[in-house]
Chain A
Amino acid sequence: MLLEVRQQYTFYGVLLYVASTIFVLYLAMGQPEAAVWKGLFWMMQLFICVNAVAKSFLQEGKERLLYFYSIAGARDFILSKLLFNALLMVVMSLVSLGLFLLMLGDPTSDAVAFLFISSLGGISLSLVFTFLAAIAARAQQSAALMAILGFPLVIPQLLLLNKISTIAFAEVQGGLSGMIALLAALDGMIVVLAIILFPFLWKD
């Protein structure tokens, strides 16, 4: 099932999108200071996520979905989607983090910790958007709907991530583990909800 989902040809498209956007940012901004860097980074993650994850449901035609339906249950399907998108976003986060460090400079005090944080952020964004893409794909006008549903829902996560990265940027790091635990709990909640609720979306 995982291999099935893995046949994605959008991967290089998104990769190119990431690279070119960061290059444009570099041309426009040069090397910004830490607060701007952080804001830009998470906004980039958000847009990458909308572009990469939204495609996972929207691009598949009715026939393909029907085919998946015939070979796998709803739960396996949403789980594999969640897993695949999480992996995709981790890769994307790492690539964009690398490009950010290369082009926009390195304001992080601890690059390894930030590596971990950005992949965690990528995972949590991808989980929310996978579930939303599933909802939006069932309602027809999907792309616009994704934006309307998605942005309020990711604000709490973005706030948390911003908070976490502020702590990570600072020299004195306190309260980091609590915030990360909260984010992980939020992710867990979304996964559980997706698994429970997806079969209802999947019918018909």
Chain B
Amino acid sequence: MLRQNWWKILCAALLLYTIIMGFLGPVPALPILDETIRNLYFHVAMWMAMMITFIVSVIYSVKYLRSNRLVFDIYALEYARIGIVFGILGLATGSVWARWTWGAFWSNDPKQLGAVIALLIYLAYFVLRNSMTDLDKRARIGAVYNIFAFAMLFPTIWIIPRMVESLHPGGMGNPAFDTKDIDSRMRIVFWPGAVPGWTLLGVWITTLRIRLRLLEEKVTH
């Protein structure tokens, strides 16, 4: 199914829709946010795509531990990689957004710190993998750590930043996705357009990388 073309065309169409509507579409005019609210289609959608790819990655890690087939390990690794890319992009778009709304690219906000910590934990996954040469061992320990890292995502991104005061929406008495913030005109771009669009792009990149990895394995063995 993944060899077919329709979802790639869908991905390109959705992203095109997101970008055109993102820059030209109607948005509610809110104080402070003004036009930066358009970043919602990019920044928030990046984090959603990151979360989705990390979930896929951890599913493949569990599958690897259950079956010991190295293919699953490659899947888990590549999905974690694209997750990191989305994480870094999410951080970058977020800090651009913060520049115009909070006044600085970086303001040591709990949410920013949590996101950086989560990314560091995931980066350690690659360091851990590179420190081993034995394929099976690397795959097994990598899978164990990947599951652990995924579990640590919840306190670092979802729980702790919400318990302390934060400038970021979604904190104390400061909900994101409120009906006050975004209206139906934005929702119709965000949910059907931006989130699946970026996620599909991630899946596309990942499947290409997985195919490349599998070919490499074939050549070397």
Contact B132 A197 (CB under 8 A): no
Chain A nearest CB from B67 CB (Å) reads 12
Contact B141 A189 (CB under 8 A): no
Chain A nearest CB from B118 CB (Å) reads 8
Q: Does B69 contact A (CB under 8 A)?
A: no
- Size category of the A interface is 20 to 34
Residues from 113 to 158 in B contacting A, C-beta threshold 8 Å: 113-114, 117, 120-121, 123-124, 127-128, 131-132, 137, 140-141, 143-145, 147-148, 151-152, 155-156
Q: Does A174 contact B (CB under 8 A)?
A: no
Known: A156-B156, A159-B160, A163-B164. A201 touches B140 (CB 8 A): yes
- Size category of the B interface is 20 to 34
Contact A140 B131 (CB under 8 A): yes
Chain A nearest CB from B219 CB (Å) reads 27
Chain A residue with Cβ nearest B125: A149
Q: Does B159 contact A (CB under 8 A)?
A: yes
Q: Could you list 18 further interchain pairs (A-B, Cβ under 8 angstroms) beyond the known A148-B124, A149-B145, A163-B164?
A: A131-B148, A135-B128, A135-B148, A139-B131, A139-B141, A152-B124, A153-B121, A155-B120, A156-B114, A160-B160, A182-B163, A193-B151, A197-B144, A197-B148, A200-B140, A201-B140, A201-B141, A203-B140
Contact B144 A135 (CB under 8 A): yes
Contact A193 B147 (CB under 8 A): yes
In the complex the two chains form, what is the Cα distance from A76 to B17 in whole Å?
56
Contact B145 A135 (CB under 8 A): yes
Q: Does B56 contact A (CB under 8 A)?
A: no
